[in-house]
A and B are shown apart, each in its own frame.
Chain A
């Protein structure tokens, strides 16, 4: 007989509808933004023929990376048999599904022809890592759904450990696929390295754990159940390990690029003279996202664990968003090296200058709308099904 049970969210109706309608409003903004961009064409966005992937892709990739990472908690329980996390495993899988849907919806609604999604689902070029990702994402969705079922239905509960292990393996491959979208681009100096795949995996572990803790905090407030000290301490330890791992792979990625002569120029751009991108890198990605939370977590007063961990998690998520922005947009902003032995003096296609990108409000609306969709799925599910653990 287990010592915990699962319950539905018992927030007041006022609070529930307040959150529901706020998220619904954001989703409407997202839909309106997407409809406007599709109707008018992408010229109303900040994206252009130089920066072809912009803010929607930053949102989408961040959300997909988080989707893979929040499953970490369930993996700790089923793949690594950490009993502490077992009560939280269903929530973890639910978050993963919700963020996956959120990320994919942003990605799809930014396509030039979103109505051709059926083409993408039926016509494959197996040499494309993008096509592989379509399989990886839909497969992840199906595995997560079955995994959730095995966790929540007593009759099939004996399969949950197997499904958990399968989901763990799948998410590692999935994040490798997401990182490889960039790692396989030989033409762009900022990307062409396989280190991006493990970097994306540690990013997902870090951001996913931070997001899980933040959502757990919100749910514990709404449900009026405290998070146990054991969980808090364990999550804090995990975050510290993932922060260190993230710093390690980030340093490795940049040192690799500096070592490859033809990648030096783009490295100097990101690290030193890239203006906004350099600021985003050092202050957003490195400062906010990695070093401040690491120092803070290793030195904070243990008597007030929850608040520092919340602040650290918030900083990690914001830093993570900047990290993805630096990789996606910063990597494109640096002009292609079409003529390695020459300087381009004139070009009507901006070949000789750093490409500019100013995101539009519509792109931001789409990204926020997608994120809200993920959160509303979580809200609806935990209100109607028993996901929230309590001590018997």
Chain B
């Protein structure tokens, strides 16, 4: 009897030393804000894209997103996940050409969340639209409903995933405004960082409820528009100079 007790105590201690202690003692730089902090509606995260600063041929935002979220792909573009993509468009009457990043538009009235049978597609109280990877059944109805084709279905087995971006075969995924960074206290997304690093500064992320934030200033200065405004989805991603 005591042998078994000793064995259990020793096993539990070994597990604690191996797994629990390192995480307590860890001093990772992004862990400024405790994850236990509740998400509130004091913020409403959004983004502004100044397309006049977006450079044709530059894929820094896409590359950064892929790295941040471990979207390495399998060399099969039709089935590989794309959380953000670059598109080049031409205005029908003026022939004006614009390049821009396109990703989940984080709608206030998201059709993906409306149609999801299990509620796995959900909008957080701070406006971020994302997928609960534990309750997504992989029906892809949200992909049928999204007007921006912003979502991808994981078509094959994933290995070597990034711990900050859990993903799973058979589930749907999309841009979540780098929610893991935001919840750890970061004020920027990977795509914004990458764009700024190259000096383009086309992407501005921030709190739409903070009147002094960079994103609100950018929106005030540029008079941007939402894509497919006719659908009245009230997206939180704004584009100017289209």
Contacts and interface: CB of A to CB of B under 8 A. Distances in A.
Interface of A: 38, 40-43, 48-50, 52-53, 111-114, 116-117, 119-120, 123-125, 127-131, 133-134, 181, 184-188, 332, 336-351, 356
Contact of B118 (A119, A348, A356): A119
B143 A347 contact: no
A344 B172 CA distance: 25
A113 B170 contact: yes
B214 interface: no
Interface of B: 62, 74, 76-82, 85-93, 97-98, 102, 111, 113-119, 135-141, 143-149, 151-157, 168-172, 227-228, 230-231, 242
Nearest to B139: A111
B171 A112 contact: yes
A42 B146 CA distance: 20
A346 B57 CA distance: 10
A332 B144 CA distance: 8
Q: 10 closest pairs, A vs B, by CB?
A: A112-B138, A112-B170, A187-B147, A41-B156, A130-B117, A125-B119, A43-B155, A346-B88, A48-B78, A342-B89
Contact of B91 (A116, A120, A341, A351): A341
A339 B135 contact: no
Interface centre among B111, B139, B172 (most CB of A within 10 A): B139
Contacts of A185: 111, 115, 144-145
B137 A38 contact: no
Contacts of A49: 78-82, 143, 149, 151-153, 155
A38, A43, A49, A332: which has the most chain B beta carbons within 10 Å?
Answer: A49
Contact of B78 (A119, A128, A337, A350): A350
B231 A339 contact: no
17 contacts: A48-B155, A49-B82, A113-B138, A116-B135, A128-B116, A186-B145, A336-B149, A337-B228, A339-B227, A341-B92, A342-B92, A343-B90, A344-B89, A345-B90, A346-B86, A347-B86, A350-B78
A53 B144 contact: yes
A112 B172 contact: yes
Contact of A340 (B97, B145, B228): B228
Contact of A345 (B93, B97, B113): B97
A175 B135 CA distance: 27
Given A120-B137, A123-B119, A348-B77, 4 more contacts: A111-B139, A113-B168, A336-B149, A339-B89
Contact of A125 (B117, B171, B230): B117
A111 B92 contact: no
B92 to A, nearest CB: 6
A140 B19 CA distance: 50
A37 B141 CA distance: 19
A123 B132 CA distance: 12
Contacts of B228: 187, 337-338, 340
A348 B101 CA distance: 11
Contacts of B76: 43
Contact of B137 (A43, A111, A127): A111
A112 B136 contact: yes
B116 A125 contact: yes
A130 B157 contact: no
A343 B144 CA distance: 22
A186 B231 contact: yes
B89 A128 contact: no
A112 B85 CA distance: 24
Contacts of A50: 78, 149
Contact of A52 (B77, B89, B153, B227): B153
A38 B170 contact: yes
A53 B145 contact: no
Contacts of B116: 125, 128, 130
A124 B171 contact: no
Contacts of A344: 87-89
A133 B230 CA distance: 29
Q: Which of B74, B76, B116, B231 has the most CB of A within 10 A?
A: B116
Contacts of B170: 38, 41-42, 111-113
A187 to B, nearest CB: 3
A105 B136 CA distance: 18
A388 to B, nearest CB: 38
B74 A43 contact: yes
A186 B111 contact: yes
Given A124-B119, A125-B119, A342-B91, A336 B137 contact: no
B135 A128 contact: no
A339 B79 CA distance: 23
A123 B169 contact: no
A343 B238 CA distance: 19
Nearest to B121: A125
Nearest to B88: A346
A125 B136 CA distance: 12
